[in-house]
Structure 1
Amino acid sequence: MKHKWIAVILITLLIGLQVRLWFGKNSISDYNSMQEQIAQLRQQNANLEQRNALLKADIEDLELGIDSMEERARNELGLIKEGETFYRILPKE
């Protein structure tokens, strides 16, 4: 009789632990969802690191001096120096 109660208690504890493992707080499903969130955050971090690297390169180019600013003004704003002739070559259609 004593052995039956011990077996019942142990089985009840095992079932309780299994329920908590599969359905409770910090369960396996919580773990899997956290792993997905971690993967998404790592991807976002990689994208932000790439953007930061590009911004850092732009800052370094601007710090180099007038040559980089002049090049940027020519490419982005179409500025021309005095005495220069501007030619625009259009592709044939």
Structure 2
Amino acid sequence: MNPENAEKKRVVLLMSPATYRAGAFLSAAKKLNLEVVVGIDLPETLAEYWHVPLGVDFAAPVASVRTIVEYAKEHPITAILSVDDAASELAALASAA
């Protein structure tokens, strides 16, 4: 089976706008043939203004889980991972939802 022809699995990578780890995670995802959705720690209005498909507020985990669950209804997600420590709890809560 050619991995490039296989259906890509979608993962959400939760990260802050200033993370230095994004490159390594995105590179690894590409090697694994994963579709990546970046969940960035941004206020909703700023995310809309910047056309960020998944802006979440790490300081408001309940609302952010709701946002991720709503996104997943239209775009099925295989996994949710935190790139930085700041979103570890959010990734766990959203994965369990």
Tell me the TM-score range normalised by the shorter chain.
under 0.3
Larger of the two Rg values belongs to structure: 1
Structure 1 or 2: more helix by fraction: 1
Structure 1 or 2: more strand by fraction: 2
The alignment's TM-score, normalised by the length of structure 2, stands at 0.17
Q: Which has the higher contact order (CA 8 A, sep 6+)?
A: 2
